Structure 1
Amino acid sequence: MTMLRPQAIFLTLGALMLAACAGITPPPSEGISRAELQGQEYPEYVIGPYDELQVFVWQAPELSQQARVRPDGRISTPLVEDMVAAGKSPTELAADIEDRLTEFVRTPEVTVIVTGFSSTFDQQIRVLGEAQRPAALPYQAGMTTLDVMIAVGGLTEFAAGNRAKLIRGRDGEKQTYKLRLGDLLRKGDVTADVPLQPGDVILIPDSIF
């Protein structure tokens, strides 16, 4: 067996660190094209029930407050009652609040910040099957399969990670891709890590079947 000299080990580690700093993107998991993943756009976040919002009205602290989206998708703030928030982006909601406040305030400027995320169903990432804790997770920009698998505790001992599938819906059509979660989590193969999109479903089968 050939032994690496200490100098060679340091050179190898240095090369890996330089590659990471250079922002090199690893190739995607088999079954998903690089062009498709690199060309995806991160959609604007859509507010959902139970989200926590910070509504800030410039130069009007008495009108600024925190609000939680009710189960009916509405919020109430000073001078603005029962405003529909669910289904809107923070920018759209801010514009609607500004329109309502023009009755009371001259040229209001409103900013809405989401401080607690609940996420609507079509923006969640769902993990089903042989994960330690199958769950529906709020999507975050830049989320990858590794982020999701860490959040659900990884694979069970019976999971067939390399037979996992990613189901992605677009305009009513479903597309299925192969994932190599076993290589990613058990071998540390970062080339098996792929970006995710809102609404993605990850299915992890049992190795018995």
Structure 2
Amino acid sequence: MTSFTFMRMGLVAILGLLVTACAGLPSSAEMPPASELEAEPYEIGVGDTISIHVWRNPELGQSIVVRPDGYISMPLMGDVKAEGKKPEQLAAEISDNLGEFIRTPEVTVMVTNPLSKEFRNRIRVTGQVGAPQSVAFQPGMTVLDVVLMAGGVTDFAADNRAILHREINGEYKSFGLDLEAILTDGDMRTNHSLQPGDVISVPRKQLFRGEL
């Protein structure tokens, strides 16, 4: 056996070890489905637009943006702290305060433009896609939807090594995605439903893996 053959065998072995070491991400099939994750109750934040309705007292109702200091201004009441409160909590507080001026007020509060949570409720796709971007989350959105919105993968994408990063119990965990199977073979096993905050990254092909 020639020295060239030994060198070739050694190179193949090294490449095999590198590929094995880099293939340690769990499949996204192992992650909890988005539908199993309970949505947290919404808390009003700075910049949110809220609609306040006082039954039988339309002059007290209004649509108002929460100020940078976290307060809103209400007729008869003045400034009211809104930031950090659930809509029903704020409605109860306004109702209690208005009880000093009108009889048995019935108040409802709705968040009509949740601007403070806009960036938290987004999906990001980065790396070797046509147009890396951040998109607003919509219920039912899948991996394929977001990749297509980003213009698909580039010619340099290692699409069988894509990664989904998801926040679970306060920390991000990474799961393998096979975009090649999804886009080329129609294999939807890793075309999972997404949830707010998910990040999809598509790496570049690498020479040592034999991808170029």
Equivalent position SS for 1:192: coil
From 49, 53, 73, the counterpart of 1:52? 49
Q: 2:29–2:190: 8 Å Cα contact kept in structure 1?
A: no
Report the number of matched residues: 181
Unpaired runs of 5+ residues, structure 2, are: 1-25, 208-212
Equivalent residue number for residue 200 of structure 1: 198
- Which AA in structure 2 matches 1:70? R
Distance (Å, rounded) in 1 between the aligned partners of 2:151 and 2:109? 33
Larger Rg: 2
- Which AA in structure 2 matches 1:165? I
From 105, 108, 112, the counterpart of 1:108? 105
TM-score normalised by length of structure 1: 0.64
- Which AA in structure 1 matches 2:105? P
Q: How far off is 1:157 after superposition?
A: 4.6
Moved more, 45-54 or 57-66: 45-54
Distance (Å, rounded) in 1 between the aligned partners of 2:175 and 2:29? 6
TM-score normalised by length of structure 2: 0.63
Q: How far off is 1:164 after superposition?
A: 2.3
Distance (Å, rounded) in 1 between the aligned partners of 2:33 and 2:70? 34
Q: How far off is 1:102 after superposition?
A: 3.0
Distance 1:65 1:38, change over 3 A: closer
- Cα deviations across residues 17-39 of structure 1 (Å, max 9, x unaligned)? xxxxxxxxxxxx94233764442
Equivalent residue number for residue 134 of structure 1: 132
Equivalent residue number for residue 93 of structure 1: 90
Distance 1:54 1:174, change over 3 A: same
Equivalent position SS for 2:29: coil
Distance 1:39 1:88, change over 3 A: same
Q: How far off is 1:176 after superposition?
A: 1.4
- Which AA in structure 2 matches 1:42? A
Give me the identity figure in percent. 45
Q: 1:46–1:119: 8 Å Cα contact kept in structure 2?
A: no
Distance 1:60 1:161, change over 3 A: farther
